[in-house]
Amino acid sequence: MRKKGYYFTFFAIIIIQFLAEFGLLFVNFDIVASYNSTHKQYNTTKTLNPFGLLYKNLLNTTIIGLFLGLILLISTLSILFLILKFKKDIFNYDLENAALTDSLTGLYNRRYFDSFYENIFAQSFRYEIPLSLIMCDIDHFKKINDTYGHDKGDIILKEVSGVLKNNIRKSDIAVRFGGEEFIVCLPSTHIDSAVDVARKIKQMISKIQTKDIKKVTVSMGVVFYKKEFGSESKDMLKYLDNLLYEAKNRGRNRIISEDDEGSVVEVEENPWIDG
């Protein structure tokens, strides 16, 4: 709605400018016509014109104004024409971005993730391309909102989103999955590398500080594509969700993943990353 307001204001300014310049042209033409009529009258009667010099200066100024008004009018019409002709290219990009990103955090939203993930998952299924997912949930987020207010909660969401965006590759995507839940999709990434990314994100989030909240923690689940998921992308997401809830059930502020044998394990703290 805010973007629509901006567009309406922009077009309103263009239209007002056009009308003002169009009106000025008529005023200038009227001044020129008045001058010519007066000049003709004095020439006919051969009477001394005491205002001749004034009219002459006014005419010169009017001609200059008329010339500039024409240039501005042509420029305005040209800009309006270009905007109308390329309005899809100018405005649709922002509208498409608004439809695919979360307005608060700037991360991709669930709608974009669904499309991106289905495509990446299909490639992993068909061509055995590695794929890892990280899901994280801000611990005790409801308590933060209830205690300090939703404005403070929004600040935490933005801070966590900033950590996610700044600690992934260009080929990865970070998504606000819903509420205080986030997903990081890591194409062509094995589980060991994904766990390292999760450790780094967890450690960076723990350094977030605000005036009232001294430490923010997250619970995380990390999953790697395996043949057991087959072609069912939803099964991988469901398993990831189970890993996240296992982290929360074990006391939060931890990462749950799998070992080489497929057993659910808690990721050990890495002193080089988490310390």
112 with 228, same domain: the answer is yes
55-114: pLDDT as tens digits: 555 555 656 665 666 676 677 667 767 766 666 555 554 555 668 999 999 999 999 999
Q: Quick one: pLDDT at residue 157?
A: 97
Q: Which residues are catalytic?
A: 180
Q: Find the domain containing 90 and state its range.
A: 2-96
Residue 164 belongs to some domain of the structure: yes
Q: Quick one: pLDDT at residue 48?
A: 45
Of 96, 124, 159, the one marking the end of a domain is 96
198 with 256, same domain: the answer is yes
112 with 58, same domain: the answer is no
Of 38, 68, 96, the one marking the end of a domain is 96
Q: Quick one: pLDDT at residue 74?
A: 72
Of 46, 75, 96, the one marking the end of a domain is 96
Tell whether the model's pLDDT for residue 119 goes beyond 60. yes
Angle at 125 between CA 119 and CA 131, to 5 degrees: 70
Mean pLDDT along residues 135-153: 96
91 with 164, same domain: the answer is no
C-alpha distance from residue 2 to each of 8, 9, 42, 90, 103 (Å): 10, 11, 60, 16, 11
Residue 101 belongs to some domain of the structure: no
12-42: pLDDT as tens digits: 666 666 666 556 556 555 555 655 665 555 5
> What pTM was computed for the model?
0.67
What confidence tier does 275 reach under pLDDT thresholds 50, 70, 90? very low
136 with 228, same domain: the answer is yes
Residue 57 belongs to some domain of the structure: yes
228-246: pLDDT as tens digits: 999 999 999 999 999 999 9
Q: Quick one: pLDDT at residue 78?
A: 73
Domain count, the chain: 2
Residue in the structure block whose two tokens are 């611990």: 139
